[in-house]
Chain A
């Protein structure tokens, strides 16, 4: 673990939080109409700058947490402000930093902009907080805090049935989280009974000895919250309601960023805290992931509302993250982490483009649109690129993560991998069919007059499109930062579950890697290979 004297990670949380406060209290009078929006964009860009700074100072090839800092807080309760970043969270933080200004600029609302911007910034603070927190209580607080702005954004700026959608979303996710809270407390007390120390810090808690049943129960409690958030089939039914009603910015951020908190939670907390349980229930989760991939794609095929179609498509795409995660091998988990980032980028681009179509045509119905490529070729091209990335066409970012996930799954759990490959075909079906119906064919009178992207709109979506290409052609710089942390995580899981090398079919493929990664871990972070010591942290400075 490396620390930093400059509080990068704290600022990632504090800048948007204070910005939100500033926007909320700055009087509406005496400033121009656009002032609060501009202020909000400024704050989110500043956060992005900070996130990029984190990317720059982040050391490639280091497995442990970097830029870590901890401060005692409510020591009696064992709660402390403990943050750190590693390869698994790094690009999620950067992606979050990028998507918020993009959403603020690309999906503006018409009324009460001040409140809107304030809620969005609060959401950003909460998202950043949950990606950098290493203390379970703080993670939980941030994780829950995202609900509040989401609720107000949906109910305040949504469409016709926004009230129902907002409440359904809130109750659904809140219920899931309640289980996690119980799980966190239970885990901390089990840990205290073993060591006498009450702590909510992830690193010492990783070495709690759990019986098989304890592990599975706690795993289920944590995963209840994550599965709703991601969502994992069958906990996804808030998705269509929410996304037919939510404002576009909210859809971008919920699917682009907040959904990742679910799968990130699985990787960061489930795999670290309950390795044995993860191995035990992996077949169940793999099955749910595969169902999510195929079923989500299938249901997407039958949608008439393009925004709901994209929501179901996300169910399928997030299925790949879950699949890779529970393959629990280096390729699978790396692919899963990368897939989160890739999906964040592509889904944001797609939602924003669809939002711009709505702004022009006031409809989400696929059947009301036709032949837009004739009048809006640039928009069609942008949609095409993001769509092909989602389908997993090589040369674009989606392929890299999908390939790694499928390869990793195939090596570890062959038949799940085989079925999941079929999901790749169905994804092509609904996306191409949508493109055909919306952008191709003879345009009707309204379609022929639909205007193309403006320069401003083009500039907003351009960073996403550039990343789609660059991360597809040169994924290595990204992967080099992700893989060491993933390798360490996989080694940890293997070590705890005493299957120190994956056995059977895939064993022969990776022994060299595993032993080298294992020895590298042991030499660089010394004690991290030996459980039951909390001295792990602070060694690999």
Chain B
């Protein structure tokens, strides 16, 4: 079975190709079903691979294969190679699984869109790229997938391209990622210089022979790449704007899969990170600070998807905190759990938006539990899961990270716990505003219009309606896993750590706390989570405006966008115009023209003897050359 690993990638890729060729003719809903079928088939293959991999009885289960040689230039030998181990297998399983559900959901969500087929074509290509990223056996393969998902994200964010905000948001997402990619490319170059290879297995085998300074620089460059892709400080502003894309895209790309690529990358290169305590510290600090900043911003957002977007940034921060502490398994654990509950929350919010005919403003929702019971129940599971209320998955996953942080980096643990309280609070605020309180979706005038929030023409409001089965079925399935994914924390053969720990081996942080401490920490987490939930409900269940809690500083995301605009955007625009209008036209071309003028002045004296017509010279020249050619040819053939 493992020998057909390529099939996991090929199936969605085939779907993409078929849809490119025939998508418009297939139309709705068959294009959607085809895409869903392809990804589902890929998921089934992935299960087969998983069972095969389980059958391998080695300390580190793995399988690798080179499909073809991509290039071979001067000592640089790169293969289109795949590498399957428990780490990449975990990614493949949840990427294909969650993708299949979101494809299914999209058939309902994208109903009636004029570019229905195109949406699924992009989605299939995205899945294929994500799988290349995950399964690549060398850094270039990872990078190909890395850029592929970024490009698909660009297309999908600006999917409704006629809306200018969507077009701008797509471009912004791509450019922030490109900034990060500079780090990735330089990291590859430096790796090749030091390790003479870009294959992961070769690199890891040579870690001891490379200076720790170089390893640290490589790691930090990769961290720059991660900042872009996983929306970490300071390259995070694009993710909130990326919410301009259709909601299934937000769920799949900007919550469950693509943005976690950074987490996967750093887990993949764990031997390097392990060899560089400095880089690990940087990752941990980046994660903790991002978790905190993202959570504070989420507390003051009014657009339901923006709250979830900043929440994603914050949750990703937790994962990097874990990686920075050496707790790779804990990072993977939260990544999987987060994929379930955040995809659930996004799809739930999509169901809400769908039901309200395009409304995204939390302050114009309210009391939806009466109208959309399934959406409400499943959403509530996601809400309590992310708030880390026991016994749902978030409690175990986040708890695992916090326990490790407590042992490894206590200060950052403090930030993490405080952020956990904020998380419970802002998610409760969101749920209270959307599902509890009074009906506000009929109001003609918004309480406090947020210029970002109004995409749809919300005219005469009809009563919200529950979404169709293709949309609610994925909600149920995701809710089930969001609730039960905590079981991965159990000890035994089927636990996550028994499965992936061997991959990380000695890189893994192993200074485990005594059981008593764990109980205390678990209790503390519970208290924090319940406290945050209670506070959020108490403050927001019956009121919609509390200006003291929604200060402009947080609503405007710490003014990071403004800072980028002032420091980077406007100066570079000015530099571009200065270069084009002053330097190029006046200085360089001016110099050339004045030189020509000088020559012309001198030439006028000589010119009296010449006809002065350039075309005459040119004609004379071409005539001469043709004669030469003709002469030459005759010499050769008859000579």
* Chain A residues in the interface with B (C-beta under 8 A): 10, 13-14, 17, 21, 71, 73, 81, 122, 141, 144-145, 147-149, 151-152, 155, 167, 170-172, 234, 236-237, 240, 295, 298-299, 301-303, 329-331, 334-335, 371, 373-374, 388, 393-395, 399-400, 403-404, 406-408, 410-411, 417-418, 421-422, 424-425, 428-429, 432-433, 435-436, 439-443, 474-476, 479-480, 483, 486-487, 505-506, 508-510, 512-513, 517
Contact, CB under 8 Å: A440 / B178 = no
**B539, CB-defined interface residue at 8 Å:** no
**Within 8 Å of chain A (Cβ to Cβ): is B196?**
yes
Instruction: Point out the residues of chain B lying under 8 angstroms from A474, CB to CB.
Output: 68, 70
Q: Are B73 and A425 in contact (CB under 8 A)?
A: no
Q: Which residues of B contact A410 (CB under 8 A)?
A: 186, 189-190, 193
CB distance B70 to A393 under 8 Å? Answer: no
Contact A73 B632 (CB under 8 A): yes
Cα(A240)–Cα(B592), bound, Å: 14
Let me know if B514 is at the binding interface, CB within 8 A. no
CB of A302 within 8 A of CB of B579, answer: yes
| Other A-B pairs beyond A141-B625, A395-B144, A441-B167, 20, CB < 8 Å | A71-B632, A71-B639, A73-B632, A171-B614, A299-B576, A302-B577, A371-B162, A374-B162, A394-B147, A395-B147, A404-B73, A407-B188, A424-B181, A428-B175, A436-B168, A440-B166, A476-B70, A479-B71, A509-B196, A513-B74
Knowing A329-B74, A442-B164, say if A298 contacts B579 (CB, 8 Å). Answer: yes
Cα-based distance from A506 to B75 in the complex (angstroms):
12
A149 to B76, CA, bound (A): 42
**A432 near B144 (CB under 8 angstroms)?**
no
**A487-B576 in contact (CB<8A):** no
Whether A441 and B162, one on each chain, are in contact in the complex, defined by CB atoms closer than 8 angstroms, is yes
User: How far does the Cβ of A444 sit from chain B's closest Cβ, in whole Å?
Assistant: 11
| Stretch binding the partner chain, chosen from B320-328, B430-438, B580-588 | B580-588
User: 1/0 contact trace for B610-639 toward A, CB 8 Å?
Assistant: 000011001101100110110011011001
List the A side residues contacting B636 at CB < 8 Å. Answer: 10, 71, 73, 81
Distance in angstroms from A237 CB to nearest chain B CB is 4
- What separation, in Å, do the CA atoms of A301 and B629 have in the docked complex? 44
Interchain CA distance A144-B624 in the complex, whole Å: 12
Q: Which 6 pairs between the two chains have the least Cβ-Cβ distance? A: A330-B74, A440-B167, A302-B580, A237-B589, A410-B189, A394-B144
Task: Report the Cα distance A428→B179, complex, angstroms.
Answer: 10
Number of A-B contacts (CB under 8 A): 197
Query: Which residue on B lies nearest to A172, using beta carbons?
Result: B592
Tell me, yes or no, whether B447 is within 8 Å of chain A by CB. no
A505: chain B residues within 8 A (beta carbon): 193
Name the one of B185, B576, B584, B633 contacting A237, with C-beta atoms under 8 angstroms.
Answer: B584
Instruction: Please judge, given known A-B contacts A373-B161, A443-B162, A475-B71, whether A407 and B76 are in contact too, CB under 8 Å.
Output: yes
Say yes or no: B148 contacts A394, CB within 8 Å: yes
Contact status B171-A476, CB under 8 Å: no
Quick one: closest A residue to B180, CB to CB? A425
A476 to B70, CA, bound (A): 6
Is residue B69 contacting chain A, with contact meaning CB distance below 8 A? yes
Q: Is the CB of A334 within 8 A of B576?
A: no
A439 contact set on B, CB distance < 8 A:
161
Q: In whole Å, how far is B115's beta carbon from the nearest beta carbon of chain A?
A: 8
Residues from 122 to 167 in B contacting A, C-beta threshold 8 Å: 140, 143-144, 147-148, 151, 154, 158, 161-164, 166-167
A149–B192 Cα gap in the complex (Å)? 46
Pair B618/A436 contact, Cβ less than 8 Å: no
**Complex CA–CA separation, A517 to B185 (angstroms):** 27
Is residue B407 within 8 Å, beta carbon to beta carbon, of the partner chain? no
Beta-carbon contacts under 8 Å, B58-74 to A: 68-74
* Residues in B whose Cβ lies below 8 Å from that of A512: 75
Q: Are A298 and B193 in contact (CB under 8 A)?
A: no
Interchain CB contact under 8 A, A406 and B189: yes
Query: A509's contact among B71, B171, B192, by CB below 8 Å, is which?
Result: B192
Query: In the complex the two chains form, what is the Cα distance from A194 to B51 in whole Å?
Result: 75
**A interface majority secondary structure:** helix
Q: How far is the CB of A22 from chain B (nearest CB, A)?
A: 13
Residues of A with C-beta under 8 A to B185:
403, 406, 421, 424
B171 touching A432, Cβ below 8 Å: yes
Q: List 30 A-B contacts (CB under 8 A).
A: A148-B625, A149-B622, A151-B614, A151-B618, A234-B588, A237-B592, A298-B572, A298-B575, A302-B576, A302-B581, A303-B580, A331-B76, A335-B73, A394-B140, A410-B193, A424-B178, A425-B179, A428-B174, A432-B171, A432-B175, A435-B171, A436-B158, A436-B167, A441-B164, A441-B167, A476-B70, A483-B72, A509-B75, A513-B75, A517-B74
* Shortest distance from the beta carbon of A506 to any chain B beta carbon, whole Å: 7
Q: A151 CA to B175 CA in the complex, in Å?
A: 40
Across the interface, do B171 and A433 meet the contact criterion of CB distance under 8 Å? yes
> With A and B bound together, what is the CA distance between A237 and B592 in angstroms?
8
For B487, what are the chain A residues with a Cβ–Cβ distance below 8 Å? Answer: none
Contact of B182 among A73, A421, A429 (CB under 8 A): A421
Contacts of A407 in B (CB 8 A): 76, 188-189, 192
Known: A71-B639, A474-B68, A479-B72. A170 touches B614 (CB 8 A): yes
* Cβ-defined partner of A476 (8 Å) among B69, B189, B614: B69
State A411–B144 Cα separation when bound (angstroms). 21
Q: Which residues of B sit under 8 angstroms from A295, Cβ to Cβ?
A: 579, 583
Contacts of B580 in A (CB 8 A): 298-299, 301-303
Bound: A429/B143 CA distance, A: 20
Cβ–Cβ contact A506 & B193, under 8 A: yes
Give the residues from 195 to 224 in chain B that come closer than 8 angstroms, CB to CB, to chain A: 196
Contact in complex: B75, A475 (CB < 8 Å): no
Given A373-B161, A400-B71: A148 touches B167 (CB 8 Å cut-off): no
Contacts of B166 in A (CB 8 A): 440
Using A234-B588, A302-B579, A410-B186 as known contacts, say yes or no to A425 and B175 having CB atoms under 8 A apart: yes
- List of B residues within 8 angstroms of A10 by Cβ: 633, 636
B168 surroundings in chain A (CB, below 8 A): 436
- Interface assignment of B596: CB less than 8 Å from any CB of chain A: yes
User: With the chains together, A475 CA to B76 CA distance in Å?
Assistant: 13
Asked if residues A298 and B576 are in contact (CB atoms below 8 Å), the reply is yes
B162 and A299 form a contact (CB under 8 A) = no
Report the separation of the CA atoms of residues A402 and B244 in the bound assembly, to the nearest whole angstrom: 32
Nearest CB on B from A407, distance (A): 5
The answer to whether B635 and A510 have CB atoms under 8 Å apart is: no
Residue numbers in B under 8 Å from A475 (CB-CB): 70-71
Q: How far is the CA of A375 from the CA of B109 in the complex (A)?
A: 24
Whether B186 pairs with A421 at a CB distance below 8 angstroms is: yes
Residue of B with least CB distance to A302: B580
**Nearest neighbor of A425 in chain B, beta-carbon distance:** B178
| B600 closest partner in A (C-beta) | A171
Nearest-Cβ distance from residue B79 to partner chain A, whole angstroms: 10
Name the one of A303, A330, A388, A399 contacting B75, with C-beta atoms under 8 angstroms.
A330
Determine whether the beta carbon of B618 is less than 8 Å from that of A331: no
Q: Which residues of chain B come closer than 8 Å to A400, judged between CB atoms?
A: 71
In the complex, the answer to whether A299 meets B72 with C-beta atoms within 8 Å is no
Residues of B contacting A436 in the complex (Cβ-Cβ under 8 angstroms) = 158, 167-168, 170-171
* Contact residues in A for B622 (Cβ distance below 8 Å): 122, 145, 148-149
- What residues of chain B lie closer than 8 Å to A334, measured between beta carbons? 73-74
A417 close to B189 (CB less than 8 A): yes
- Which chain B residue lies CB-closest to A237? B589
Contact partners of B71 in chain A: CB under 8 A: 400, 404, 475-476, 479
Q: Which of A395, A399, A440 contacts B162 (CB 8 A)?
A: A440
A513 to B196, CA, bound (A): 11
Q: In angstroms, how far is the closest chain A Cβ from the Cβ of B592?
A: 5
Residues of A within 8 A of B171 (CB): 432-433, 435-436
Do A428 and B614 touch (CB < 8 A)?
A: no
Q: Which of A151, A411, A432 contacts B615 (CB 8 A)?
A: A151
Q: A425-B178, A428-B178 are in contact. Are A509 and B186 (CB under 8 A)?
A: no
Select from chain B the residue with minimum beta-carbon distance to A407.
B189
* CA–CA, A332 and B178, complex, Å: 22
Whether A171 and B584, one on each chain, are in contact in the complex, defined by CB atoms closer than 8 angstroms, is no
> What distance in Å separates the Cβ of A339 from its nearest Cβ neighbour in chain B?
13
A148→B74 contact, CB < 8 A? no
